[in-house]
Structure 1
Amino acid sequence: MAIESSPPLILLSGLAADSRIFGPQKLAFPRLQCLPWLSPTRGESLDRYAQRMAASLGDGPCVIGGASFGGIVSLHMARYLNVQAVVLIGSVKSPAELPLYARCARPFRFLIPLIPVRLMQILARPFTQSGIRRLAPFTHGLACQFCDADPSVFKWSLARILDWSSSPAVLCPVFHIHGDRDWTLPVRHTSPNVVVTGGGHVLTLTHAKEVNSFLDAILAKLAK
């Protein structure tokens, strides 16, 4: 894959997910760093949170990106880092690219604190059993990540998606890969560089070969 002279690759997972979403990428890119989510402070803005996330990294050049909500956060983090490129995987570049259901839900974001995340995690627990892993490994993996998610991070992330009002000015190239069957963030609302045929919202797992090739081409280009 990418040669040693390419900049470090840093990726953020999406809502209710963690580094396991990038399992195939960690195998292909040994230098890949998957950032864990920090606990948000009360009422913390997206930009302030991104600044705190960026503070945990060094000053050297890097490529940062993420899947879904992680891509949105990476755009804001790019303001505070020496970023050579931003990579969006099944994500969007601006609030205008969010689907209609997200925009319609904005007036109801005050209800987010009432979401029973713990109860939802208990209800999802049966899908984390070993029997499900054998029969439906993809469902099992997503259920495990959701059950392990921090409810406070989940609620904060959902609120920031709904009140996202402006995208930051990014002074580096933005590369975007998206699935044509992504029902969470439909491709028709955005303009990716690469559209993966048959790809859904979790491209890193379902279409790892295409995502890895996409990332490898970007890193190789930046290494020149």
Structure 2
Amino acid sequence: MRDIYLLSGLGADQRIFDRLDLSGFEVHYIEWIKPLPDDTMKSYAHRLSSQIKSPKPILIGVSFGGMMATEIAAQVAAEMVILISSARDSNAIPFYFRMLRYLPIHRWIPIQWMKKGNALQDWVFGITQKEDKELLRAILTATDPYFLRWAIHQIIIWNKRSEPLPIAQIHGDRDHLLPLRQADFSVPDGGHLIVHNHAPIVSQWIREQIT
């Protein structure tokens, strides 16, 4: 069986992939590790790549996990990178994230507030169903605060040019966190969590890319 390695999003874990149908593939979950004080996206990706044992892995990343997948793919011989609700380079990062390089108010926002569920988060992530809200709350509660703050800062300062990598990208057309800018397929009425609440569409599209 071909090997698929999954990278969850910022503040997420493997539960976000629960509804995907990847039967017929050998699925592995990349585990987030504690960042070192001087870790960059590139150096962190290098450390994560030690979890990959396949010589030609298929990398599937959601949001921040997709950005990290592109960094890993630049260091290992990946067969393909599938991006879900993500960005293939720093040009796709919205201006309001880049603005925080010069006005770093994110450093002053209490992490505990970020980890608590609220109506703003529900809107940003595009979720309306009770079970989706409960999942998001559970995942955020379990997220390491140090990792969360580090990862947010890395997204803000990410400086990555487009590279000739085998990338395919799917994105919701109503993503409020990372608005649709470039994608091979857009999911109608899809928010940031299409991997979870539009899983059948995402699953079928993934299969079309890798089979």
Mark yes or no: TM-score above 0.5. Answer: yes
Which of 27, 39, 47 is 1:44 aligned to?
39
SS of the equivalent of 1:176 reads: strand
**Over residues 90-118 of structure 1, what are the superposed CA-to-partner deviations in whole Å (9 max), with x where a residue is unaligned?**
11111111112112122133x54543223
| Counterpart Cα distance in 1 of 2:111 and 2:201 | 33
**2:51 is the alignment partner of 1:64:** no
Letter in 2 for 1:144: A
How do 1:1-224 residues align onto structure 2 when only pairs under 5 Å count? 4=1, 7-25=2-20, 28=23, 31-109=26-104, 111-118=105-112, 120-121=114-115, 123-124=116-117, 136-167=130-161, 169-170=163-164, 172-187=165-180, 190-220=181-211
> Structure 1 stretch 195-204 or stretch 97-106: which is displaced more?
97-106
Letter in 2 for 1:179: G
| Counterpart Cα distance in 2 of 1:25 and 1:161 | 26
Cα deviation, residue 169, structure 1: 2.7
SS of the equivalent of 1:87 reads: strand
Would you identify which runs of 4 or more consecutive aligned residues in structure 1 move more than 3 Å? 26-30, 111-115, 118-121
TM-score by length of 2: 0.87
**Over residues 119-160 of structure 1, what are the superposed CA-to-partner deviations in whole Å (9 max), with x where a residue is unaligned?**
554x449xxxxxxxxx71110000000000011110111010
Q: Please tell me the root mean square deviation across aligned C-alpha atoms, in Å.
A: 2.0
SS of the equivalent of 1:143 reads: helix
TM-score by length of 1: 0.83
Change (3 A) 1:19 1:147: same
Change (3 A) 1:28 1:199: farther
More helix by share: 1
Change (3 A) 1:39 1:168: farther
* Structure whose CA Rg is larger: 1
| Counterpart Cα distance in 2 of 1:145 and 1:28 | 24
| Counterpart Cα distance in 1 of 2:19 and 2:203 | 8
Query: Alignment length, in residue pairs?
Result: 201
- 1:59–1:82 Cα contact (<8 Å) kept: no
